[in-house]
Chains A and B, each alone.
Chain A
Amino acid sequence: MAISKDLVAASATGLILSILAEGDSYGYSIIKRVRELSGGRMEWTDGMLYPVLHRLEKQGFIGSYPARSETGRARKYYRLKKNGTKALAEHRDQWMLVHNTFQRLWENRPCLT
């Protein structure tokens, strides 16, 4: 089962903020983490992550700083800012609301057996 494009796009901000709440990270590692967590079923086109990261940075939710990998490759690390923590809390509330709504709907389905 693959997740629809719209849903991937809608959840991107929340996912990125949540992963950065675990600690500073960079693009490739964020995508790897999403793949791991979703068991490979949430497939992003890798390049689409960066515009979202840059938008969040411009909105002041996250910051970035340059660093190097063990092999000396230049990387751009992102970290969560105070505003980002607030935004993440709002995101979580919204997603939980959607989640709970679905849950109630589906739990109340009449039992057919």
Chain B
Amino acid sequence: MTDAALPAELAPDELLAAEYVLGVLTADARIMVERRMAVDTTFAHLVDDWIAKLMPMEAATAAVMPPGRVKLRIDAALFSAAAQTSQRRRRAGPLSLLDSLAFWRWTAAFSLFAAVMAVSTMTWNLRQAPPQQPPEQLLATLLPQGAPSGLLAKVDAQTGLVRVEGDVTLLGETDGRSAELWVIGDDETPRSLGLIAMEGVSEVRPAPGLLGQLLAGAILAVSLEPEGGSRTGAPTGPIVALGALRGP
């Protein structure tokens, strides 16, 4: 095809929408396009048209299963009580500015998570050192991201007894549900440690086979399950709190 046979040039807005969807714009230009989409529905429709046109190019993309922790983090970010409060606020308001605020809030949540993970990794590395006096107690603070209060878990390294303290009812809709405590080790598979009370102090004695999971660096999580606990052996309800075990 020669240039003379080319169809009419794309209008500037149409080209901008196409470039945005194609992914060739700089960071600044992308932000401008997103701001415009939030206030200009005609332009937002142009972007949507180009999504419909170009996205089938993703058909060739190979599917890759993400690790299980990705969904745990998504649930913790979306369905913990603190996340839900701020979400309701966001849903009610206009999109663009709140969106970017939200973006930074999520980024902060990632950093917090990364920091927790870094601490756990350090603890883990320390554990690789020649065996010394084993710590008597491991601690985990199970925090819903951004919430002022969470749960405190203590693991007695000798007996494996887990003591959890705090108020689960502040963290989610607990009516007609049971709170279940999970340990997530290196293989990323949550294993149930047992049910805990909604308020006050609970003591859980894990099955002997699980004592090896309760090491520094392991993640403890609490999910809300049908009464009596998850029937599948894996968390089925929202994760309302999670945190990493670390030495005293």
Question: Is B one of A's binding partners?
Answer: no
Residues of B within 8 A of A (CB): none
